[in-house]
Amino acid sequence: MKAEPRERLRELPAVDQLVRAVEHRAELHGIPRARLTACAREVLDAERRRALAGTPAELDAAVLAARVVEALARGVFSLGPVINATGVVLHTALGRAVLSPLALERLAHVGQGYANLEIDLAEKKRGSRYSHVEGLLRRLTGAEDALVVNNNAAAVLLALESLARGREVIVSRGELIEIGGEFRIPDIMLRGGAVLREVGTTNRTHLADYADAIGPDTALLLKVHPSNYRVVGFAADVPTRDLVELGRERNVPVMEDLGSGSLVDLRAVGLPWEPTVQEVVASGVDLVSFSGDKLLGGPQAGLLVGRRPLVARLKKNPLNRALRIDKLTIAALEATLYAYEAGTAWETVPTLRMLTEPLASIRQRADSLLALLSPTQAERLGAAIQEDQSQVGGGALPTVELPTAALALGTATLPASILDDRLRRAAPPVMGRIKDDRLLLDCRTIFPDQLRELARVLTQL
Ligand SMILES: *Cc1c(COP(=O)(O)O)cnc(C)c1O
């Protein structure tokens, strides 16, 4: 009887009927009527889709109205906080870097009113929005000049379009990477109007490969940080220094897309060596690009530092206008960079703090979380402390495993997948990770002031 579900759909209540059923509910007070209508329509559409997929339609107006109330009770705003219990410090889907208190303070301060965004107050003339971070970036990286755009993908696009449009860019085959989220180096090159000249092989590229490929059409030698993957075993790439020397000899500029790009030496806290931006600048690279919201721990932005004449060409490109950052980004970025200049970044930039937190301290937080559950609740959820590994995320340091402590949940009657489902729909939503049939709530990325709220959510499951 294929027609039956469709037939029954006619008996679904009308949108108006649902709206009338919920509009006087106290918990929906103040919610715009347009929103009630939209939500009622969504609930009915979802029911229609379910019915067409074979589930008998729910026709009871009271049940459907309750769904509208539940959906709206979560709040009228779509974007909101989530408790990150995945242990992935730079989780792209969860918004990557968490801003420092100073960055938030500056952001609110600047956003509240007018600001000297493009005014040179002393000279009484039009200024540049980039001036607010240029000095900091020059001092922190040792570069001659700096520019900031919307994100690092935009930074690479702008650089290629400005320096290599219609000409060749030489890249090692081992560095033709995809970062995820549709960022592929070959595609960006195409968009930037540059012609990709691949050299070497996936696992090995030598200086001679670059040297042989340089011709009259070569505009740029590009080195790309492999970010989220590693070639191990019989592998070789060309050190930045050698590439710089070759570029000098043959009069071709060298750019390095550092991806994450750190301003601090991560070896200081036992993490593997990653070239810092200042090291890459010191090695003589003409232009370096990196993200504002990966290891740097600031707002989403693409930072470009390098030689003045090259940066000047980027600044003059009309495309730059389309990629520019707003005052809120500048405010948060200036505050984040300031923490590096002041030497307080390790303590105040949440990304660095989370990456360096010792296991004992994370373990304490896991213990506190468990202690906030009553023994009956803990037993019902199968809660126990479990040691595991967290990840850096954001395409940075993919092979690094950070020892961590998690609250592990799941029983035969309340399996991990069900708990995961419910936690994602809780208010606030909680995202954990499932491993070996247990739902792990990794305490590395759970903040101390979220413990009570998380315990309340767990109690209400
Ligand atoms: C992450 C990354 C990008 C993209 O940076 P976004 O700031 O996310 O736009 C580009 N290149 C490399 C090497 C990266 O790791």
Nearest-atom index, ligand 1, CA of 300: 7
User: How distant, in Å, are the alpha carbons of 19, 31, 59, 65 from that of 35?
Assistant: 10, 7, 22, 14
Q: Are 84 and 445 in contact (CB under 8 A)?
A: yes
Q: Which residue has the higher pLDDT, 124 or 312?
A: 312
Return the structure tokens found at 219. 């505009």
- Atom in ligand 1 nearest the alpha carbon of residue 394: 1
Q: How high is the pLDDT of residue 4?
A: 62
Determine if ligand 1 sits within 6 Å of the CB of residue 257. Answer: yes
The rounded Å distance from CA 259 to ligand 1 centre is: 5
Spatial separation of the C-alpha atoms in residues 256 and 287, rounded to whole Å: 6
Instruction: Lowest mean pLDDT of 26-30, 387-391, 433-437, name the range.
Output: 26-30
- Residue with the bigger pLDDT between 243 and 395: it is 243
Residue with CA at minimum distance from ligand 1 atom 13: 259
215 CA from centroid of ligand 1 (Å): 28
- The pLDDT tens digits for 151-182 are 999 999 999 999 999 999 999 999 988 877 67
For residues 432 and 419, give the distance between their C-alpha atoms in angstroms, rounded to a whole number: 10
Q: Which two tokens stand for residue 426?
A: 């809780």
Cα 415 to averaged position of ligand 1 atoms, centre (Å): 37
pLDDT of residue 219: 98
Ligand 1 center from residue 97 Cα (angstroms) = 14
As a whole-number percent, the residues of the chain with pLDDT over 90 amount to: 80
**Residue 294, pLDDT score:** 96
CA distances from 126 to 114, 116, 294, 298, 322 (A): 15, 10, 32, 27, 19
What are 163's two structure tokens?
A: 């320096």
* 320 close to ligand 1 (CB < 6 Angstrom): no
pTM of the model: 0.93
Cβ atoms of residues 142 and 285 within 8 Å: no
Pocket mutation for ligand 1, best pick of 150, 257, 288, 325 (most atoms within 8 Å of C-beta)? 257
What is the residue with the minimal CA distance to atom 8 of ligand 1?
A: 152
Top-level class of domain 83-95+354-460: alpha beta
Å from CA of 1 to ligand 1 middle:
53
pLDDT recorded at residue 228: 77
Domain spans, the chain: 3-72, 83-95+354-460, 101-344
Mean of pLDDT over the chain: 94
Pairing of strands 119-120, 125-126: antiparallel
Domains 83-95+354-460 and 101-344 share a fold: no
Spatial CA neighbour of 167 closest among 93, 229, 219, 213: 219
Average pLDDT on 97-114 reads 98
Selecting from 3.40.640.10, 3.30.70.2190, 2.40.110.10, 3.30.1330.10, what CATH number does the domain 101-344 have? 3.40.640.10
Give yes or no for residue 382 having a pLDDT over 50: yes
Question: pLDDT tens across 182-195, in order?
Answer: 788 888 888 899 99
Question: Of 233 and 95, which is predicted with more confidence?
Answer: 95
* Residue 1 reports pLDDT greater than 50: no
CA–centroid distance, residue 392 to ligand 1 (Å) = 15
Which range (41-55, 97-111, 307-321, 325-339) has the least confidence? 41-55
The CA-CA-CA angle for residues 171, 175, 179, to 5°, reads: 125
Q: In ligand 1, which atom is closest to the CA atom of 183?
A: 4
Cβ neighbour number for residue 314 with a 10 Å cutoff = 22
Which pLDDT value is given to residue 127?
A: 87
